[in-house]
């Protein structure tokens, strides 16, 4: 969710990119509870106005395009990265996929694939049928208006037991992008994966099914130590907004999707 992509060498960032970068740097230095307090500062009327504006900005699939909210450390993936994650899930998942704090990746999946149990309207649906369920687990309730039953409200900083009981050990594939580059936030991510993923062995040895984690390269040692994931070399997630921190992708399996050739 949160972008830490590096700027291209030789390019001078625009004023807008510089302002965005300054805002991002400030946000990653604040504690999550402080950011939550800042978010509550904005009144409900302003949020309603923003939602109305978003509704007018229609996406290609007929759903409104939800704009990034920097107060939630939201930075969308580039189209190529979002589609890579979507295709990887389609080719590698078999039972159920959880997109945790990755709304732009889920949007790409939802636009291209029709997962089992998704709502089908009266209009012809040209999406490729996926033989498994897929859900977006996200704190931003705006996505509930877009994805209906495929959206599950989830605050990463609350105990995962607050999720619906049916989420426990349901998913054989979890895609997660913790919103902050802090040990505390990553610890919450580990707890979420512990709760959501269907283990191959025991929970103690963390031998989960398939996990994809996208986060800052600075978190590599933490990711490898606490989740046993390995970093993919030769490819890194990119974002629609150019930001400074290098990003990386980590997985724990060999699949059939576009990321498999990078193992």
Sign of CA dihedral 57, 137, 259, 218: positive
Give percent of the chain above pLDDT 90: 51
Using the predicted structure, report yes or no on whether residue 113 has a pLDDT greater than 80: yes
5 falls in which pLDDT band (50, 70, 90)?
very low
* Predicted model pTM: 0.75
Instruction: Give the C-alpha separation, 249 to 232, whole Å.
Output: 6
Give mean pLDDT, residues 31-41. Answer: 56
- The packing angle between helices 103-112 and 79-92, to 10°, is 70
For residue range 118-169, list pLDDT tens digits in order: 765 555 678 999 999 999 999 999 999 999 999 999 999 999 999 999 999 9
Give percent of the chain above pLDDT 70: 67
Mention every residue, 6+ apart, whose C-beta is less than 8 A from residue 9. Answer: none
Q: What domains lie within the chain, and their CATH numbers? A: 73-257 (3.40.50.150)
The pLDDT value given to residue 54: 44
The pLDDT value given to residue 175: 97
Give mean pLDDT, residues 60-69. Answer: 60
Both tokens assigned to 138: 């996200």
Closest to 216 in 3D by CA, of 195, 198, 237, 190: 237
Long-range contacts for 83-88 (Cβ within 8 Å, ≥24 apart)? 83/108, 83/112, 84/258, 84/259, 85/109, 85/175, 85/212, 85/214, 85/237, 86/112, 86/113, 87/112, 87/257, 87/258, 88/212, 88/255, 88/257, 88/258, 88/259
For residue range 155-208, list pLDDT tens digits in order: 999 999 999 999 999 999 999 999 999 989 999 999 999 999 997 665 555 556
């Amino acid at each position: 969710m949160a972008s830490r992509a590096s700027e291209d060498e030789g390019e001078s960032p625009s004023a807008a990119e510089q302002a965005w970068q300054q805002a991002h740097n400030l946000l990653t230095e604040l504690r999550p509870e402080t950011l939550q307090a800042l978010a509550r500062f904005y009144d409900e009327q302003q949020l309603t106005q923003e939602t109305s504006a978003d509704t007018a900005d229609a996406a290609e699939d007929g759903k409104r395009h939800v704009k990034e909210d920097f107060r939630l450390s939201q930075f969308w993936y580039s189209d190529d990265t979002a589609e890579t994650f979507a295709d990887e899930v389609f080719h590698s998942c078999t039972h159920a996929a959880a997109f945790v704090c990755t709304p732009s990746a889920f949007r790409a999946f939802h636009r291209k694939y029709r997962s089992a149990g998704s709502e089908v309207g009266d209009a012809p649906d040209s999406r490729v049928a996926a033989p498994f369920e897929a859900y977006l687990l996200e704190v931003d309730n705006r996505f509930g208006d877009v994805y209906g039953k495929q959206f599950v409200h989830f605050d990463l900083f609350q105990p995962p037991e607050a999720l619906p009981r049916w989420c426990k050990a349901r998913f054989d594939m979890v895609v997660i992008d913790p919103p902050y580059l802090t040990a505390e936030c990553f610890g919450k991510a580990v707890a979420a994966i512990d709760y959501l993923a269907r283990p191959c062995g025991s929970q103690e040895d963390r031998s989960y099914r398939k996990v994809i984690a996208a986060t800052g390269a600075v978190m590599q040692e933490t990711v490898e130590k606490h989740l046993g994931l390995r970093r993919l070399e030769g490819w890194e997630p990119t974002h629609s907004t150019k930001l400074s921190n290098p990003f990386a992708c980590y997985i724990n399996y060999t699949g059939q999707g576009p990321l498999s050739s990078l193992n």
